[in-house]
Structure 1
Amino acid sequence: MRSIAVFSVKGGVGKTALAVNLAHAAASLSKRRTLLWDLDAQGAATWMLRLSPSPKASARKGIAAGALLPLVQATDFAGLDVLAADKSLRNLEKQLADDDRAKRLKKLLKGLDQEYDRIILDCPPGLTELADQVFRAVDLLVVPMLPSPLSGRAFEQMVDHLGHMKDPPPVLPVFTMVDRRKSLHRNTLLAFPDRPAIPYAAAIEDMGTTRLPVLAKSSTTVAARALANLWTQVERALVRPA
């Protein structure tokens, strides 16, 4: 099993849409047994896949008890399950701060390695205790960022933070909401030609209405091709020797 965290210091960079599309690509393109773990209390990834948390369940209590599988729900897509977020995650930071197990999330992920080939975490923004636990646990960080100076600064802050950690995961920065009509976006892409770029596209915006991943609707749009190519790069990064 390999795990990927979709993480950003800043909000508003298309993080959840990216997490949902990567999870769907893992299941549909690579035929991986895939779990999307929604760690953001807003639950947008859960909602985008037409699911909702069970009113009798508590994601935070499941994490505390190490009992995640009872919370997992199947989606409409073969091979793709979701560990739904709920409002209890608002208190997860305090729970983790009070906990003496700095690698709780890593242990929980390891406990799922017989069930899934790929686990993708949709993480809330911010350099928090939860973020540190995620950094210790996953095999790859996918970091969406706008092609702008503020996003670049936030990315540098995250890289600096990782530099103070022991054995941080590799990082794959991804430009999102790219509008090549804007000179700032074009110039930023020219400065970082090797970084993947996902366009600002109606196909991605429509996810909020259709509640479907981009590739579930069409594989031929520019956005769909960019997301498929990104998943190929993620898979290569996961199997690359350390």
Structure 2
Amino acid sequence: MSGPAKLCVSNQKGGVGKTTIAINVAGAISARGHDVLFVDLDPQGNATENLGLMDAYDDEPPTLFDCLTDPEHRETVADIVREHEEMDVIPSNIDMTAAEPELTLSRRSGEQLSLVLREVEDDYDYVIVDCPPNLGNLMDNALFATQNVLIPALAESTSKRAFELLFDHVDALEYDYEIDIHDRGVVVNRIDVRKTQAREMVEWINAAFDDVPVWQIRERADVQKALDAGVSLLEFNPECDMCEVFRDIAADLDEQFGIEDVEVQA
């Protein structure tokens, strides 16, 4: 495989734990001995904050916003990469709130992230992009740059409509850019097995996505505590039972992307 494996974590519905899944999947991939670049493409900067890099959110230019909206600043992306104990991070920035209208004016509006990543991606085994929770130019950039999507979802009925909207958008993007975007799996998040609706929704998701893996993450206090500590769950408490699910996701992604001979860290 040439270049890194690229994956965006995407669902246009907010509140599904998208950033939580992205950080923990990236942490699990890192724990398998891979070099990971994590890109926070969400103007809200939740991943930037949850990885302990909130100071970067208020950085002066150039920032990710400048790299995406000004071709002369693309190569400066190497200067904004931050080191984290588990992964390298391209943080979001408060200026990213203006990215949507700026990208609309760009001649290749959906391709800018791909062009930016070319400056740094060869140093990594994986690039993980945390998407904003809405459809638009930034989401298009993430989907075009990675052409692989991992979908976080909640075990509730509103997820059905969210899936439909996302796949309609993906279909349109594939048509416009003549590309194929691959579903790499669904992560059903914050499952409360005591609720009948949750159990029924998990069954529906498993039936609807019978051709890709479906993983289940149950409610655990340590998941939020890890984010508060600025690390993944695997770093915070490797004994938590949900760590095994994230390890399974990382191992499955290695297999899907054809990445072999990993050296799993103890």
Alignment partner, residue 23 of structure 1: 26
1:72 to 77, 81, 97: 81
User: Post-superposition shift, 1:60?
Assistant: 0.7
Which residue number corresponds to residue 11 of structure 2? 8
- Shift of the alpha carbon at 1:208? 4.0
Residue 164 of structure 2: which of 152, 156, 161 is its match?
156
1:159-170 correspondence runs (5 A)? 159-164=167-172, 165=174, 166-170=178-182
Consecutive unaligned residues of structure 2, counting only runs of 5 or more, are 207-212, 260-266
RMSD: 1.7
Task: Determine the structure 1 residue equivalent to 2:152.
Answer: 144
Q: How far apart in 2 are the matches of 1:15 and 1:192?
A: 17
Percent of pairs with identical residues? 24
Kindly indicate whether the alpha-carbon contact (under 8 Å) linking 2:37 and 2:128 is maintained by their aligned counterparts in 1.
Answer: yes
**1:127: which partner in 2?**
135
Contact 1:139 1:238 in 2 (8 A): no
Cα deviation for residue 204 of structure 1 reads 0.9
One-letter amino acid of the structure 2 residue matched with residue 11 of structure 1: G
Q: Is the 8 A contact 1:162 1:168 kept in 2?
A: no
Query: Cα deviation per residue 1:107-162 (whole Å; 9 max; x = unaligned)?
Result: 22233232111111111111102212221110411110101111121111111221
Measure the CA separation in 1 of the matches of 2:141 and 2:131: 11
- Residue of structure 1 in register with 2:124 after alignment: 116
Give structure 1 stretches of 5+ with no counterpart. Answer: none
Counterpart residue type for residue 134 of structure 1: A
Judge conservation of contact 2:78–2:119 (CA < 8 Å) in 1: no
CA distance in 1, matches of 2:137, 2:81: 24
- What is the rounded CA distance, in whole Å, between the counterparts of 2:255 and 2:191 in structure 1? 23
* Structure 1 CA distance for aligned equivalents of residues 98 and 220 of structure 2: 35
Task: Give, as a single letter, the amino acid of the residue that structure 2 aligns with 1:195.
Answer: V
1:198 to 204, 210, 217: 217
Q: Partner residue of 1:180?
A: 193
Matched AA of 2:123:
E
Q: Residue in 2 aligned with 1:238? A: 257
